[in-house]
Amino acid sequence: MGKPKVVLGVSGGIAAYKACELLRRLTESGHEVRVVPTAASLNFVGEATWAALSGNPASTEVWETVHEVPHVRIGQAADLVVVAPATADMLAKAAHGLADDLLTNTLLTARCPVVFAPAMHTEMWEHPATQENVATLRRRGAVVIEPAVGRLTGKDTGKGRLPDPEEIFEVCRGVLARGTAGPDLAGRHVVISAGGTREPLDPVRFLGNRSSGKQGYALARTAVARGARVTLVAANTALADPAGVDLVRVGTAVQLREAVLEAARDADAVVMAAAVADFRPAEYASGKIKKKDGQEPAPVALVRNPDVLAEISADRAREGQVVVGFAAETDDVLANGRAKLLRKGCDLLVVNEVGEAKTFGSEENEAVILASDGAEVQVPYGPKEALAEVIWDQVAPRLAPRRA
């Protein structure tokens, strides 16, 4: 089996220089890459750079090497086409089937998965024309990554920044891994919580847990690769922002509840992967609690935090919404998991054994996915991305039919 063939389209935005890093990651991971830049993009990065980095010629016109019919052959031979950056102009051309250069011709002839990584000013991204073009492309099966929020050109800041090339690469890797399976979450909005909440005791101390957020982030990345619009509610994580997600940062269980309930209003699925503290201190000390010589510290009174999983399971924001919970257990794992599934009322419960050297902070995981209909799916020890894929495999067929 030969190397996967990837076409890297580069359109004319200032973020074109970042595509060099994406190209490096693709080639170093064993992909054969053909760069197809637009004429406008060559104002930022020249043909010689693309040819040197990819080891293949880079051209913009359909009239070069005409005997090879490049405007047809490049797209036909590709296993993946990724356009990064994708400007508003490029999205409009792709949505309307225009073909005035080699890249747009390639997009029309490609029968493989296509990924667009938009980059533009906030006003251009939010314009109704751009949003309709994005919706059209997604409806046709393309994966359009949500742009990041951050510094743009000049002094402007907002949504429209090209996501980190490493994160775009992870999306491409996920799309390629799915092969012809297609974006089965296209047109869906999924909400994922990740990380661990922290309940403040005083200005310097808190009650927390060992959750790193890696499983929730893996769920977010795989959902993006499957075409979903993703809202990620992240509690106290130190991980790179996944490409293509709307990221909401929270600290406490109460803040997480508010963010999840808000995002879940129009969500097709909610996956509660965060480790939410069951209790919080009954009182918050406004100053640091001091040690007193010869005295034991006063007991810390605790109160219950809201049960977010049970709440959203009992009161679905929309009909047919799928709710997934996680159960981190240290003993009687399956028995406790089955009891929790009944108690919480969710559709799926991902049950795993945890401990100081298990799961938390690790790159791997193993679990049993319990379903409210009695089904059980064993997921063997492996990368957290693999578990995430199985979870979405279980969610997808349970989703309500798409609205017209």
Determine whether 209 is an active site residue: yes
Catalytic residue among 105, 133, 209, 365: 209
Residues paired with residue 233 on neighbouring β-strands, in sequence order: 193, 248
Between CA 208 and CA 198 the distance in angstroms is 5
Between CA 298 and CA 201 the distance in angstroms is 12
Between CA 214 and CA 274 the distance in angstroms is 10
Contacts of 311 (CB under 8 A, 6+ apart): 257, 261
- In three state form, how does the secondary structure of the chain look? CCCCEEEEEECCCHHHHHHHHHHHHHHHCCCEEEEEECCHHHHCCCHHHHHHHHCCCCCCCCCCCHHHCHHHHHHHHCCEEEEEEECHHHHHHHHHCCCCCHHHHHHHHCCCCEEEEECCCHHHHHCHHHHHHHHHHHHCCCEECCCEEEECCCCCEEEEECCCHHHHHHHHHHHHHHHHHCCCCCCCEEEEEEEECCEEEECCEEECCCCCCHHHHHHHHHHHHCCCEEEEEEECCCCCCCCCEEEEEECCHHHHHHHHHHHHHHCCEEEECCECCCEEECCCCCCCCCCCCCCCCCCCCEEECCCHHHHHHHCCCCCCCEEEEEEEECCCHHHHHHHHHHHHCCCEEEEEECECCECCCCCEEEEEEEECCCCEEEEEEEEHHHHHHHHHHHHHHHCCCCCC
Cβ–Cβ under 8 Å, residues 349 and 324: yes
Q: Which two tokens stand for residue 287?
A: 């100053």
Active site residues: 209
